């Protein structure tokens, strides 16, 4: 082996080490903005809607720090993988609040890596009717679209049933049925229905108030009540729940099934588009036929992935396409849930 070749290799590897170390040092210097106290309770959230809910519940409460995992800039959360920064934060976190329902594909890995981390699954809380009796009927299961599960539906609790009326036997039966569904893809974009979002806020507040067994008034319970009232009073559906009640709509993103549900509309055709979705010609023609056959007047879509299909729909049918936000991307502040939902309803109102 020639000596100068060995020197070259050593110099090369040293140069790369020096350049990458210096680059990394300055990168860390520029991006290091952690100022919160280390002894605060660190509450991590998995996605923007859950983050917004938690921010509101813990607004101004001392001793807590809320941080969201890094969010993908495009696409949905299902296929998101954790970054090193996320893993670092999780290792220090006291609680991880997730949307659940299969939204966080990495959850099993997290549970395996951090067995002591308390995980609050808001979807599971609603699904198992933990304080939200009747709301589990609002969860949309994919199987129900494919198979006729009328018999199963009959065994589900009705909306408005109070906890006292539900015997333990029925409760267990419902949980078992739902576990079956949960294993097979559920539509987990539950925050898009404001009623379910309120349940998510309740689930988060319950988990954070857990040590307070006597349910005395605390800053957290005060925030929870305030935010619940805000959601109740400030979300303005602009009469759409009356205008669209019982009418047929089509959707180009499964999140909007919950938007339709919150307005009382029936989803008669779904084509879930994202950055990896490749649609077949047969699927498109079936979708267009469903729009025509069911006299669909309005289609809910996400602009990034639904625009070209939206243009095709408007060209081929009489339906109008409205582009809505799913609240997954972007930087959101504490008031953004209400703002974005109201903006979505305004867009629908404008197109009608």
Partner 1 sequence: MFSEMFSYAFMVRATIAILLISPLFGMVGTMIVQKRMAYFSDALGHSALTGIAAGVIMGIANTTISMIIFGICFALLLNYISRKGLSSSDTLISVFASCATALGLAILSRGGSFSNYSAILVGDILSITVAEIVQLIALFAVILVFWCISINRLTAISIHATLAKSRSISVRVMEDAFAVLIALLVMLSIKWVGILLINALLILPAASSRNISENFREYTYFSIVFSVFSGVCGLFVSYFTDMATGPMIVIIASVIYFATYIYGKK
Judged by CB under 8 A, which of 57, 58, 76, 249 binds partner 1?
A: 76
Which of 62, 64, 69, 63 shows the shortest CA–CA distance to 46? 69
Cβ-based nearer residue to partner 1, 9 or 351: 9
Residue whose entry in the numeric block shows the structure tokens 């379910």: 196
| Phi/psi-derived region of residue 232, left when phi > 0, alpha when psi is between -120 and 50, beta in every other case | alpha
Q: What are phi and psi of 45, to 5 degrees?
A: -125, 155
d(CA 211, CA 224): 16
Residue from 40, 63, 79, 292 in contact with partner 1 (CB under 8 A): 79
Q: In angstroms, what is the minimal distance from the CB of 201 to partner 1?
A: 27
Specify the residue, 13 or 245, whose C-beta has the smaller distance to partner 1: 13
> Which residues 222-241 are close enough to bind partner 1 by CB under 8 A?
none
Task: Quote the DSSP letter at residue 158.
Answer: P
Q: Provide the mask over 81-120, with x wherever binding to partner 1 is found by CB under 8 A and - wherever it is not.
A: xxxxx-xx--x-------------xx--x--xx-------
Whether the Cβ atoms of residue 106 and residue 80 lie closer than 8 Å to each other: yes
Site size for partner 1, by CB under 8 A?
39
Q: CB-wise, 144 or 173, nearer to partner 1?
A: 144
Question: What is the rounded distance in angstroms from the CA atom of residue 163 to the CA atom of residue 156?
Answer: 14
Looking only at residues 196 through 225 of this chain, which bind partner 1 when binding is defined by CB under 8 A? none
- CB-based contacts of 189: which residues, under 8 Å, 6+ apart? 103, 254, 255, 257, 258, 326
Q: Are 173 and 155 in contact (CB under 8 A)?
A: yes
By C-beta, is 31 or 167 nearer to partner 1? 31
Contact region for partner 1 (CB under 8 A) — 34-42, 124-132, 273-281, 319-327? Answer: 273-281
The token duo for 97 is 């609040």
Q: Applying CB under 8 A, which residues contact partner 1?
A: 1-2, 5, 8-9, 12-13, 16-17, 20, 23-24, 27-28, 70, 75-76, 78-79, 81-85, 87-88, 91, 105-106, 109, 112-113, 185, 271-272, 274, 276-278
């Amino acid at each position: 082996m020639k000596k100068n070749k060995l020197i070259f290799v050593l110099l090369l590897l040293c140069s790369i080490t020096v350049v990458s170390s210096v680059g990394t040092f300055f990168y860390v210097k520029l991006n290091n903005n952690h100022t919160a106290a280390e002894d605060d309770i660190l509450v991590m959230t998995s996605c923007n809607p859950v983050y917004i809910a938690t921010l509101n519940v813990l607004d101004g409460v001392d001793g807590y720090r809320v941080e969201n995992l890094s969010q993908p800039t495009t696409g949905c959360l299902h296929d998101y993988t954790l970054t090193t920064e996320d893993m670092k934060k999780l290792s220090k976190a006291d609680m991880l609040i997730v949307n659940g329902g299969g939204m966080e594909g990495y959850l099993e890995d997290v549970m395996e890596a951090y067995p002591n981390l308390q995980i609050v699954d808001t979807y599971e809380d609603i699904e198992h009717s933990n304080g939200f009796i009747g709301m589990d009927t609002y969860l949309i299961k994919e199987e129900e679209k494919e198979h006729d599960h009328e018999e199963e539906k009959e065994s589900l609790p009705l909306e408005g049933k109070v906890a006292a009326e539900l015997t333990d036997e029925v409760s267990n039966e419902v949980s078992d049925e739902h576990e079956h569904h949960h294993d097979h893809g559920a539509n987990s974009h539950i925050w898009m229905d404001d009623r379910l979002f309120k349940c998510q806020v309740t689930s988060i507040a319950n988990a954070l108030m857990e040590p307070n067994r006597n349910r005395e008034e605390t800053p957290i319970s005060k925030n929870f009540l305030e935010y619940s009232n805000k959601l109740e009073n400030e979300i303005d559906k602009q009469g759409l729940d009356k205008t669209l009640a019982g009418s047929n709509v089509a959707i180009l993103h499964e999140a909007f099934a919950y938007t339709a549900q919150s307005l009382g509309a029936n989803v008669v055709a779904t084509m879930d588009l994202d950055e990896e979705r490749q649609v077949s010609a047969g699927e498109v023609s079936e979708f267009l036929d469903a729009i025509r056959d069911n006299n669909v007047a309005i289609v809910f879509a996400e602009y990034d992935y639904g625009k070209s299909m939206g243009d095709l729909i408007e060209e081929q049918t009489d339906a109008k396409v409205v582009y809505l936000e799913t609240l997954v991307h972007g930087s959101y502040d504490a008031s953004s849930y209400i703002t974005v939902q109201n903006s979505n309803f305004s867009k629908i109102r404008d197109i009608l």
